[in-house]
Amino acid sequence: MSNRRPYVRSMDGWWKRDPYFIRYMAREVTSLFVAAYAVVLLFGLVRLGQGEAAFNGWLQYLKTPWMLVFHLIVLAVFCYHTWSWFNIMPKTMPIIFIGGKRLQPGTITGTGLAASVIACLAVLFIVRGMS
């Protein structure tokens, strides 16, 4: 009988060993920014329920330099999140054939990104038209 302990591989920094896992973890970290922005919007909803003065105060807070920087960071993170989401889409969906030919992964990613940009522009024009 041996007194040796069994080999246990260290899990420290496991995600740093492979570029695929680094991208995976970066994509997962974007969820924290999504949650943070959801909290900002939730505060706006609470302020809206407290009346016009409270809501206008929240809008003024959003115009502070710190919040503008936060929004720029969130925009960059959301753009990365959107790109990475549509980039993995061809790997997660079933194979699609159109006209007897397999739809290429780049076409799926590009179509998803184009649809996302069109939807964002549509929302922007609708919101601008309402104000």
Structural domain spans, the chain = 17-130
Pick the CATH number of 17-130 from 1.25.40.10, 1.20.58.390, 1.20.1300.10, 1.10.10.10: 1.20.1300.10
Averaging pLDDT over each range in 16-20, 95-99, 119-123, which range is the top one?
119-123
pTM score, two decimals?
0.74
In this prediction, residues 98-123 reach a mean pLDDT of: 93
Angstrom distances, CA of residue 111 to CA of 77, 79, 97, 131: 20, 15, 15, 31
pLDDT in the model for residue 1:
58
pLDDT of 47 higher than 70: yes
pLDDT of 71 higher than 90: yes
pLDDT in the model for residue 2:
66
